[in-house]
Chain A
């Protein structure tokens, strides 16, 4: 089985722009979660989708949004980028939401200048 894939792998944007990141889960997995990793804050949960519905949301401003499509692929969008949004964005998939191993993709590294 192919693993979790994320595109693009690297992005450079300037402040004020918006960005869309994509995540394709492992085939058959219906739950996709997004995390932000920074040196200062570590790994922080952004949101989780299951069967196209947002099940849970972390403590991030409304500039961060996401969605999930019927094929379980997910996108996250960050609008009005700030320097502090520079981070590694990781997505993880699992078959269900509880009691399951979560499998992570390689991440998208976003640099905001």
Chain B
């Protein structure tokens, strides 16, 4: 059974800092990995999707990487802003399961 872990559970940084969020998974047979952000009490906003054949994806200040062999993905946020404060979730589809398996998320707070 696929397990997805996100460490740390919470992170607080000053505005302007570059930061990395981590996601690890136990089964490397994945179709894709997706990073989401969730604001309190709201739904999920898709940030980046990495196909299993890709190593990274970039969108603006965000860069996500995927290393299937080590079972890891990272989300890099450059020049963080208070508006980046949210919970960041990674999720993947893999093997025989078409559904998204989620990590428990990292709650990010960017201090002004």
The interface of chain A, by Cβ under 8 A from chain B, is 4, 33, 35, 42-45, 48, 55-56, 58, 88, 90, 92, 97-107, 109
- 26 interchain pairs (CB within 8 A)? A4-B43, A33-B99, A33-B100, A42-B104, A43-B89, A43-B100, A45-B99, A45-B101, A48-B98, A56-B97, A56-B98, A58-B99, A90-B43, A92-B100, A98-B31, A98-B93, A98-B98, A101-B46, A102-B34, A102-B46, A104-B43, A104-B44, A105-B43, A106-B43, A107-B42, A109-B41
Chain A residue with the shortest CB-CB distance to B89: A43
**Interface contact A101-B49, CB-CB below 8 Å:** yes
Determine which of A43, A100, A109 lies in contact with B102 in the assembled complex, contact meaning CB atoms within 8 Å.
A43
The interface of chain B, by Cβ under 8 A from chain A, is 31-32, 34, 36, 41-46, 49, 51, 89, 91, 93, 97-105
Interface of B is mostly: strand
